[in-house]
Structure 1
Amino acid sequence: MLVEMPVAKVTLNELSRRTCLAKSNVLRYFESREAVLLELLDTEMRDWLTQLETTSEPVAGTARERGDQLADVLVTSLTSRPTLCDLISVQAAVLEHNVSTEVALHYKRASRRTVERQARWVLRYLPELGDQDATRLVAMTTLITAAAWPWSRPSAAMLAAYAADPAVAAMRGEFTDLLRQSLHVTLSGLLARRDDLPVGTARIDTVHRDA
């Protein structure tokens, strides 16, 4: 269904029809449409990470060169997975609503394991980042994908506006370019800082200098 339509149009009624089950029977296994899609998002994330772990290997080079390679691998793999990108784009605003605390906790625990696993994969390319900044990169990749995916899929009205005015058309974003440029900037910033400190922790030398 997600190959045929965006997440917003996937309904329990249509899911029930396609699985030849009554809606009440679907709800015996999943408490809501959002619970179904969260489970699917977790599966898609784990499949994606398995692909990254088994099909890509870092090459020798400077930290910047390896960072550029890492960004390119992430961009290429995400671009090839539109269903995953679509699910990520609605995760916070849609999928994490209309679910119970039990479902939310189950999903977030699974998500945390996936983030930790992906951070370990990042360190194969850039051990210089350390655990904290590798985790930051994972988080930023998700956030950038969530923003860039819907931005690069304009409505019919927006497409007509782009076609009507070349100056306006220049404002249209393309997912691959948006993601690649953003990841390059993010990686450059992380490598320049190399704090490897928990979020919200100030560097001691900065505190002393400011004092």
Structure 2
Amino acid sequence: MADTFQRARNEEQRAVRRRAILDTAAAMLGEMPVSQVSLNELSRRVGLAKSNVLRYFESREAVLLELLATASQELLDHLDTALPQAVDADAPVSERTDRVAATMADALAARPVLCDLISAQAAVLERNVSTQVAAEYKRAGIAQAFALAHLARVHVPELGERDSVRFAAGALLTATAAWPHAHPSAAVLAVYESEPELAVLRIDFATALRESLEVLLSGLLARASR
């Protein structure tokens, strides 16, 4: 396909191209899961030949990793406002931990694109990128994980620094595992419809995540008290 864009001549124009690619990929994720986002379709929608998309991002996965980093930061910005509104600093620790868990679970459940990207991160998105892209993403991811740990510790200082990091890591791992189980394939959904007894272990994402985070926080606090 011939480009609808003229070739970028300076950094400002390159930034415009990159932004167009990212915005188009983000729009596609609003319509389809990560697994269905292809470089061919992305190129078609953005109006660039696939080879020219690859001038700005080395792979489909590099595009999606950048979107994941952006979506993760947006979640942190939201929690920075939502947690103080939800958690009473003078409440007992058990109540504060439950409110932290509920607020985080609700925030993630309200961001299906982020959850889909998180669930694909290790198994898919990190498999077709260069060492440089992987290092850049990991630096951003580590900074964001520590920021999440800090937000939790502000409202549950009983955790301590080490356990707040454990909580943040555990929360992300739990979300990664729970999302695909809460959103089964069409074939599995058809089975649940025809044989309801087989849906006994089907989970609701927000509920399962909230309950898991409550248990994780309670367990960390119990160990700390020993």
Correspondence list, 1:54-133, <5 A: 54-57=81-84, 58-59=87-88, 60-133=90-163
Query: What's 1:157 paired with?
Result: 187
Given that 2:182 and 2:204 are in contact with CA atoms closer than 8 Å, whether structure 1 keeps it comes out as yes
Residue type of the alignment partner of 1:137: F
Query: What's 1:167 paired with?
Result: 197
Find the aligned partners of 1:161 and 1:24 in 2 and give their Cα distance: 42
Residue 55 (structure 1) shift: 2.8
User: For residues 87-125 of structure 1, what are the alpha-carbon distances to aligned partners after superposition, in whole Å with 9 as ceiling and x for unaligned?
Assistant: 000100000111111000000011111111111111111
User: For residues 56-95 of structure 1, what are the alpha-carbon distances to aligned partners after superposition, in whole Å with 9 as ceiling and x for unaligned?
Assistant: 3120211111000000000110011000000000100000
Residue 41 (structure 1) shift: 0.3
Find the aligned partners of 1:9 and 1:166 in 2 and give their Cα distance: 28
Given that 2:98 and 2:214 are in contact with CA atoms closer than 8 Å, whether structure 1 keeps it comes out as yes
Find the aligned partners of 1:94 and 1:168 in 2 and give their Cα distance: 29
Find the aligned partners of 1:29 and 1:159 in 2 and give their Cα distance: 39
Given that 2:83 and 2:100 are in contact with CA atoms closer than 8 Å, whether structure 1 keeps it comes out as no
Query: What's 2:50 paired with?
Result: 23
Find the aligned partners of 2:82 and 2:206 in 1 and give their Cα distance: 20
Find the aligned partners of 1:127 and 1:96 in 2 and give their Cα distance: 34
Query: What's 2:59 paired with?
Result: 32
User: For residues 99-157 of structure 1, what are the alpha-carbon distances to aligned partners after superposition, in whole Å with 9 as ceiling and x for unaligned?
Assistant: 11100000001111111111111111101101111111111111111111000111122
2:68 maps to which of 41, 45, 69:
41
Residue 54 (structure 1) shift: 2.0
Residue type of the alignment partner of 1:135: V
1:180 matches 2:210: yes
C-alpha RMSD of matched pairs (Å): 1.3
- Normalised by the length of structure 1, the TM-score is 0.90
Residue 51 (structure 1) shift: 0.8
